[in-house]
Amino acid sequence: MSIPRTTTPAAAATSNSTLARQLLDTRAQTEWLAKDLTDADAAVQSMPDASPAKWHLAHTTWFFETVILKEHLAGYTVFDQRYAFLFNSYYETLGARHPRPKRGMLTRPSLAEVLDYRAHVNDALEQLLEQKCTAALRDLLILGIHHEQQHQELLLTDILHLFAQNPLYPSFRPGEPLELNASEPTALRWLEFEGGQVRFGHEGPGFSFDCENPAHDRLIEPFALGSRLVTNAEWMEFIDGDGYAAPTLWLSDGWATVARHGWNAPLYWQKRDDQYWSMTLRGLQPVDPAAPVTHVSYFEADAYARFCGLRLPTEFEWELAGTTVPVIGNMGASKRLRPAPAAAKEGLLQMFGDVWEWTQSPFSPYPRYKVADGAVGEYNGKFMNGQYVLKGGSCVTPPDHIRAGYRNFFYPQKRWQFSGLRLAKDL
């Protein structure tokens, strides 16, 4: 529930009809993603980090009901008072809530009842948008859109983890085999950047989350960035080179994690007849050697970089490079639902989409950052401890949700997200 920047003239000029279309299209997209799920699919929680699809559908609806409709639509009738306890996530200021690890115990309400809840709130949002909206209300509605887009991605990554636990390896979308790239991966080239004193942080019109602010200057040393993401073929070399068995490559906590969980390959990989396969949203598929490796933790990404005698970029190096290319790539709108090989082109490739890219930067506040008052202040500020920044979006990120300044963050041992890496080096 991040807070947007102060409304700019461009944002204030957004018409109610345009905002209504964006909002209702986003809400419809979430429901489209869940359209083929059974009630059982939508109810099960595969691990404490994941949430059932039904919970995502309801939580995003609870946000609009609690933060916007109850405060801004006169006469609004709450759909079910009990849902505030069930579908609050971690907002202490908004009351008690059902424990996160037990969300999979919520067999009731049913998926159909949650969809009725969504319809009730959607109708009320349409009524709200028939009124004259203040700039502050527009900001909240835009925030709600971006919040829901975050949960669209989480819904997909959580469903993938759930289906990967099923020995039938069910497909979220039709499981036709995806064509593998028979050619050699696009050659890795190095793009050099001079660095210098560079401005970071969101400035100008448009939406940003609070952790992307305020704008500030940083001194960046000269560096080089890999032209593309690390591939599955390159990761297989890491495996064959005993990368998972070499303690000198690993941070201490990473090595302990490898030993504790017995990691020897990315999450979802398995070997069949000397070929690697991986669980995808289209079912079990052969690993494409030319495609970017995904579902690796920060610990694994850091160890791989050491294996190569290189390093991960900082978030600021990545962002400096990311501002030089357009925000296009293999994202959720492509419906591929897994990373794709890099195109045989010059320049920086795959900066947006395919996989979230681990950086070596801890998720910490920018200079002069202040936590907002109230519930919106609980979204980012209290998580700025022990996590690392990822950049660029993934193959399931909504394309109008990502930007160069976007700061995703996860704990270093997590790997159920579409997370991979790009290499960097000093000059």
Same domain, 234 and 299: yes
203-219: average pLDDT: 91
Which pLDDT belongs to residue 10? Answer: 35
* 172 found inside a domain: no
Q: Taking all residues of the chain, what is their mean pLDDT, rounded to a whole number?
A: 92
Q: What pLDDT, in 10s, does the model give residues 267-306?
A: 999 999 999 999 999 999 999 999 999 999 999 999 999 9
If you write DSSP's letter for every residue of 61-116 in order, what string do you get? HHHIIIIIIHHHSTT---S-TTHHHHH--S-GGG-----GGGGGG---S-HHHHHH
Q: Which two tokens stand for residue 336?
A: 């591929």
Give whole-number Cα distances, 8 to 14, 135, 155, 206, in Å: 10, 9, 31, 8
Question: What pLDDT sits at residue 203?
Answer: 85
Same domain, 322 and 217: yes
Q: Is 313 within 8 Å of 205 (Cβ atoms)?
A: no
Same domain, yes or no, for 153 and 47?
Answer: yes
Spatial distance between the Cα atoms of 370 and 213, rounded to a whole number of angstroms: 9
Please name the helix (run of DSSP H) or strand (run of DSSP E) that holds residue 28, with its range, or none: helix 16-33
CATH code: domain of residue 377: 3.90.1580.10
Residues 160 and 297 in one domain: no
Q: Are residues 224 and 145 in the same domain?
A: no
Q: What is the pLDDT of residues 168-189, one digit of tens each?
A: 999 999 987 777 766 678 899 9
The number of angstroms, rounded, from the C-alpha of 90 to the middle of its chain's C-alpha atoms is: 18
Beta bridge partners of 193: 223
Q: How many domains does the chain have?
A: 2
231 or 18: which carries more pLDDT confidence?
A: 231
Would 177 be classed as within a structural domain?
no
Residue where a domain stops, chosen among 147, 164, 181: 164
User: What share of the chain has pLDDT > 70, as a percent?
Assistant: 94
**% pLDDT > 90, the chain:** 83
Quickly state the pLDDT bin for 7 (edges 50, 70, 90).
very low
Regarding whether 265 and 158 lie in a shared domain, the answer is no
- What is the structure's pLDDT at 183? 67
Domain that holds residue 94: 9-164
- The verdict on residue 66 lying in a domain is yes
Lowest mean pLDDT among 98-112, 203-217, 389-403: 203-217
Do 222 and 103 sit in the same domain of this protein?
no
Query: 92: pLDDT confidence band, cut at 50, 70 and 90?
Result: confident
Amino acid identity of residue 329, one-letter, is: G
Q: Tokens in use for 365?
A: 């506040």
For the residues 200-226, what does the mean pLDDT come to? 93
Considering the domain architecture, whether residues 291 and 223 belong to the same structural domain is answered as yes
**Tokens 């019109």 appear where?**
205
What is the model's pLDDT at position 175? Answer: 84
pLDDT at 378: 58
Q: Are residues 17 and 106 in the same domain?
A: yes
- Average confidence (pLDDT) over 394-421: 97
CA proximity to 395, closest of 280, 287, 298, 317? 280
Task: Specify whether 102 is located in the same domain as 141.
Answer: yes
Whether residue 173 is contained in a domain is answered as: no
Least confident of 30-44, 128-142, 308-322, 395-409: 128-142
For residue 129, what are the contacts with CB-CB under 8 A and spacing of at least 6? 16, 19, 20, 23, 141
Query: Residue 184 domain-assigned?
Result: no
| Domain stops at, among 117, 149, 164 | 164
The pair of structure tokens assigned to 328 is 């296009």
Query: Does residue 79 lie in a domain region?
Result: yes
Cα-based angle 96, 97, 100 (whole degrees, multiple of 5):
140
Query: In this structure, is the dihedral angle defined by the CA atoms of residues 298, 304, 305 and 307, taken in order, positive or negative?
Result: positive
Residue 140 lies in a domain: yes
CATH number at residue 144: 1.20.120
Band the pLDDT of 14: cuts 50, 70, 90: low
Banded model confidence at residue 307, pLDDT cuts 50, 70, 90: very high
Residues 260 and 340 in one domain: yes
SS3 for 225-251 is EECCCCEHHHHHHHHHCCHHHCHHHCC
CA–CA separation, 85 and 322 (whole Å): 41
Whether 71 is in a domain gets the answer yes
CA-based R_g, the chain, Å: 22
Average pLDDT over residues 352-373: 93
Least confident window among 33-47, 199-213, 343-357: 199-213
For position 377, what pLDDT does the model report?
61
pLDDT above 90 (res 364): yes
Distance CA 140, CA 154 (A): 21
pLDDT for res 11: 39
- What is the b/e burial string over 394-410, where b = at least 16 CB atoms within 10 angstroms of the residue's CB? bbbbbbbbbbbbbbbbb
Confidence grade of residue 94 (pLDDT, cut at 50, 70, 90): confident
* Shared-domain flag, residues 58 and 199: no
Token pair belonging to 284? 């079990």
* Burial grade of 235 (CB within 10 A; 0-12, 13-18, 19 or more): buried
What confidence tier does 13 reach under pLDDT thresholds 50, 70, 90? Answer: very low
